[in-house]
Amino acid sequence: MDVFQKAFDFKDADNVRAMGLYLYFRTIESGQDPVVSMNGRRVIMLGSNNYLGLTNHPEIKEAAVKALREYGTGTAGSRFLNGTLDIHVELEERLADFMKRDAALCFSTGFSVNLGVISSLIGRRDVVVLDNLDHACILDGARLSYGRVLKYAHNDMDALEERLRGVSDDNGSMIVVDGVFSMEGDVADLPKIVELKNRFGARLMVDDAHGIGVMGDNGRGTGEHFGLDDEVDIVMGTFSKSLAGVGGFVAGDRVVIDWIKHKARPLMFSAAPPPASVASVMKALEVMIREPERRDRLWEITKYMKREFTSLGFDTGESASPVIPLVVGEDVTSFVMTKRLQEEGVFVNPVVSPAVPPGRALIRTSYMATHTRDQLDRALEAIAKVGRELGVIA
C-alpha cells in the first residue's frame, strides 16, 4: 500500500472548502494589532494571543533591529554546539530572575519546550499524568517519552486522585497541566492539584503559555495567581503570546534544568533561537515589568467582554482569562459564524471537534490590552447580530 494513500484519501478540508467555509491559514497583511488588514479590508482582531499588545511596540522592534545588525539573521547551529550567544544566556538569567527560579532554558519554539522537557524527564519506569484537554505539545511530549501516560477528565480532581492512587510507589510520577487552557480559557484547579501532588509524592509541571504576562500580580502565571509559585516544580512559558516573539522557555531547579539542557533532543538538535527574536523577547519582558498597567487594562477588557457576552445570552463556559469562548453547538455553526463575522469586520477563530467535544463547537475570542472600547463595542454589535442570525442567541 502506498504510504501517501492516506493523503489522497483525505477529504475533510476539501469538503469544507467546497462549502465555502474553510477558515484556516487565513492571510493577514499587517501586524498583530487590534485592527488588522485582510484582503484590503480592516478587521477587528479578536483572535490573537498578543495579550499585552507588544508585538508592534517601538522599543521592542528597535531591540530586534539592533540585534539583527550586531549578530546577523541566524545562529547557524544548536545551543548545544555553536549556537549559544551571550544574549541567549542573558535572556535566561532575566527569565529565571523574573520567575523567581534557580535557572531557565530557552528553546526555539514553545511546542519544542514540552516535547523536550517531558520526554527527557519521563523514563521507562515513570508515569506522566495529563488533563485530557492539555495542549497537543504536552500530549506529544508524553508520547515521545518511554513512560506510561495516564489521562484524567478535564479539571476533574477526583479523576486525578484516582489516577495518582493507581501509580505504584516504585514509579516516579509527574502531573503536567495547562495553567490556562487555550481553547476555553478556563484555569487549572491548581490548589487541589498541588494538594494531590504532595499527598502522592508526584512532581508538577505547569504549561503557562497563556498565563505568563496575564495571570498573577506580576504576570508570573497561574502559580502566582493562586499564591502557589513554590509548589510548582517546573514552569513552561512561550514567547509568542505576551512576550511578542517566537520561542519558549522552561524554569525550575538548576539541577533539573541542567539535566534538560543535556537530554532534551528538541533543544540539542534544533537551531538556536535567532538573535532578533531573543532581543525582542528580552525587551518585551522589560516593558511588561515596567508597565503593569497593560495587564490591568487587559483584565478590564476581559471582564467587560465577559459581562457583555453573558448579558447577550452567550454561553462562555468556565472562562477565567482573556480567552473567552462562545459556545455555538455544531461544528458547521462555528464555521458559518466565523465566516459571517469576518464579513462583518471581526476576526475570530473557529474551534471544532476533536479540539472540543462533539456538539460543543466554539467561537474562540481573545483580547489585547491595546483594544479600544470603540473597537470592542463594534465587535460586540457584529457578534450579537450574527449570533441572532444563526440562532445561537435569542
Backbone region of residue 111 per phi and psi (left: phi > 0; alpha: psi in -120 to 50; beta: other values): alpha
Cα 108 from Cα 25, distance rounded (Å)? 22
Asked if residues 46 and 379 have their Cβ atoms less than 8 Å apart, the reply is yes
Asked if residues 100 and 229 have their Cβ atoms less than 8 Å apart, the reply is yes
Is 241 considered catalytic here? yes
Selection from 267, 222, 224 nearest residue 247 by Cα: 267
Selection from 365, 315, 371, 368 nearest residue 182 by Cα: 365
Of 197, 210, 225, 371, the catalytic one is 210
Of 112, 119, 182, 240, the catalytic one is 182
Edge-to-edge strand order for the sheet containing 35-38?
35-38, 41-45, 346-347
Give the C-alpha distances (Å, rounded to integers) separating 310 from 43, 269, 304, 327. 24, 48, 10, 11
Asked if residues 318 and 184 have their Cβ atoms less than 8 Å apart, the reply is yes
Is 154 considered catalytic here? no
Is 145 considered catalytic here? no
Of 241, 283, 306, 371, the catalytic one is 241
Instruction: List, by residue number, the catalytic residues.
Output: 182, 210, 241
